[in-house]
Amino acid sequence: MLAGKRIVLGVSGGIAAYKAVDVCRRLVDLGAHVVPVMTRGAERFLGRATLSALASEPVQTSLWDGPTPIPHTRLGQQCDLLVVAPATARVIAAYAVGLSTDLLTNTLLATKSPVLVCPAMHTEMWEHPAVVANIATLRNRGVHIVEPAVGRLAGGDIGAGRLAEPADIVAAAVTVLTSGGSLAGLKVLVTAGGTREPIDAVRVIANRSSGKQGYAVAAEAAARGADVVLVSTVELPAPPGVRVEAVETAAQMHAAVEAHADADVIVMAAAVADFRPAAAAAGKIKKGAGLPAIVLEPAVDILSGLGQAKPAGQTLVGFAAETTDLVANATAKLSAKRLDLVVANDVSSPGVGFGHDTNEVVLVRPDRDPMTIGRRDKRDVAVSVLDAVVELRHPTNP
């Protein structure tokens, strides 16, 4: 499966370094050429001889002692993927701020290839605001993160921070290497955030959408080689390689979407208002003026219009934020709006949907049974959504 792929396996100094042996073995068994790089801290937990015996080349640890004068440049330029397992808080921080302190961090900064970071640390460290911010920074740059598991940690503690299992790390590496260009050459339009409909010069009718899921989809689409336009109502950092067009109201979003309606793939992740005030006051409505009569009218149904005019070959994805009858409502939306895929989530569930970094969704399409994607980071949900898009465009089981 990975024949011909060159993978740099970085191992940093944590008790979970022993799992890197199994990661290395599994990658080699899949045909990959694995080049191990260990930090000085990693050598306190794992001997070089063990990893060297299983890898495709001997372990490298130094910027200075090898035959190549600039080993980090050679490693970074020649690899198809760089995996760091385990990734300690120190290595994550150095990578996030661009600090080169050893061969591994130099190689991370010297590569333009995909990077897969697999954190492992105690729960208190994993949840520290600095680590959370560094992980968010790396995600925004397109780095793939394999979330740590919940389980037994060093010292007998139980909690989040345990290195993901080697099989899961290798599966993530396979996904990155085999689907990284699956949208190459395609134009992808993504919408994100909740629209805001003015009542007066100060007040708006809005919703709770943070835009995080739409941004995750846009970032993943760009990582897969697509030309991505993101129409957004929120002010989040633009994902690498993504063009952002800022809008506020449903009408503005409609105009922006219509300008890109020829896209090969459209993912309408935005929460567009169903209703808007029929007339917005020019100034601020003063409290002393009495209770205003706000007359609502339907806002433009962007998704329905796209479905009615969908050209041949286009893949159209809608989102459904529900609180009851999740699959039934998503199925009805799929049919009524002529969609290829609906991503439905129950926003009444804790940790799901609006404002959260995690999501739990059901993928509903005409030709398959609904598929539940369990709770995970929104970037990982984006991976599942775009995997489904690729399958729709290139069916493996006609």
Active site members: 207
Q: Is the separation of the CB atoms in 330 and 371 below 8 Å?
A: no
- The two three-digit tokens of residue 84, written as one number: 């760091």
Burial label, 326 (beta-carbon count in 10 A; 0-12, 13-18, 19+): buried
Q: Which residue, 325, 329, 363, is CA-closest to 343?
A: 363
For the chain, give me the number of helices (H) and strands (E)?
13, 19
331-365 burial, b for 16+ CB within 10 Å, e for fewer?
bebbeebbbbbbbbbbbeeeebbbebbbbbbbbbb
Q: The tokens 């009495």 sit on which residue?
A: 290
**226, 184 in Cβ contact below 8 A?**
yes
Q: CB-based contacts of 103: which residues, under 8 Å, 6+ apart?
A: 37, 39, 60, 61, 62, 63, 71, 72, 75
Which two three-digit tokens encode residue 271?
A: 């929460």
Q: Cα 243 vs. chain centroid, distance in angstroms?
A: 17
